[in-house]
Amino acid sequence: MSSALAVPVVLVDDHQMVVLGLRTLFHNRPEIDVVAFAHDAEDAMATVRERHPRVVVLDVALEGSHIDGFELCRRLRTEHEDVEVVFYTGVDELGLAERAFAVGAQGVVSKGDSAADLLKAVLLASRGRSYTSPAFAARADLRDFEDLSPKQLAALRLLAQGLERKAIAEQMGVGEETVKSHLAEVRRKLGARTSAQAVAIGLINSLFEYEGEIAVS
């Protein structure tokens, strides 16, 4: 029986063996409760409406669906703001992680990564935190970050730790409006539409490491 505190998860993949493998992976993890699964986009939308998961784990490629995983993610995030998405994919292409974050995902994990990577991504997503596996970070579409001032980078790093603007201001010894200005400049220089996307860009380009520990043993 699942714990009341376990993260409810829906699995979406067009390959039944992948879904079976993930269900087996999460079966003995008290932190995760796989409440349902789906094999195509239409079924996934209906399943999420019915089961109200906290996290959806899905693939980019959804054979047999009229839309791909990116569009499914966008629709899920539009219709269910409290649902986070983690991509678990075998697709290997430059810029995939940034594209995933742009449509609202919180995590991107390669099917070649360890089970611990996927578990970490799901748990972080359930807390509203981003995760990109080392496989995608290594192939990230690198940008020139030299335009970021030390204070702007510091504000971004604190934001990545989950601090609110007031707490960032206290840590940096400046006013909230100054922090707001720093983060606005960060978004502009990185070409990010939101602060969450700016954090994601920083993560996949190894500007900073994750703070805190996620137990996966």
- Indicate if 24 and 99 belong to the same structural domain: yes
Of 138, 165, 183, the last residue of a domain is 138
The span from the CA of 129 to the CA of 182, in Å, is 21
Instruction: Please tell me whether residues 26 and 109 are part of one structural domain.
Output: yes
Residues 96 and 165 in one domain: no
DSSP secondary structure letter of residue 106 = S
Q: What total of structural domains would you count in the chain?
A: 2
Contacts of 201 (CB under 8 A, 6+ apart): 98, 101, 143, 190, 191, 192
Assign 57 a pLDDT band (cuts: 50, 70, 90).
very high
Mean pLDDT of 25-33: 91
* pLDDT-wise least confident of 46-50, 124-128, 142-146, 148-152: 142-146
Nearest to 103 by CA among 111, 95, 94, 93: 95
> For a pLDDT cut of 90, what percent of the chain falls above it?
53
Residues 134 and 158 in one domain: no
CATH code assigned at 101? 3.40.50.2300
The verdict on 61 and 91 lying in the same domain is yes
The token duo for 32 is 């995760």
CATH code for position 167: 1.10.10.10
Q: Are residues 99 and 161 in the same domain?
A: no
Residue 20 located in a structural domain:
yes
| Residue 210: inside a domain | no
Residue range of the domain that includes 47: 7-138
Residue 35 contacts by C-beta under 8 Å, 6 or more apart in sequence? 8, 9, 10, 51, 53
Mean pLDDT, rounded, of the chain? 85
* Euclidean distance between CA atoms 131 and 78, whole angstroms: 21
- Is 105 domain-assigned? yes
CA 177 to chain centroid, in Å, comes to 28
Residues 94 and 187 in one domain: no
Band of residue 73 on the pLDDT scale cut at 50, 70, 90: very high
User: Which among 77-81, 109-113, 202-206 has the top mean pLDDT?
Assistant: 77-81
Q: Are residues 33 and 55 in the same domain?
A: yes
111 and 74 in a single domain? The answer is: yes
Instruction: Assign 116 to helix, strand or coil.
Output: helix
216 domain-assigned: no
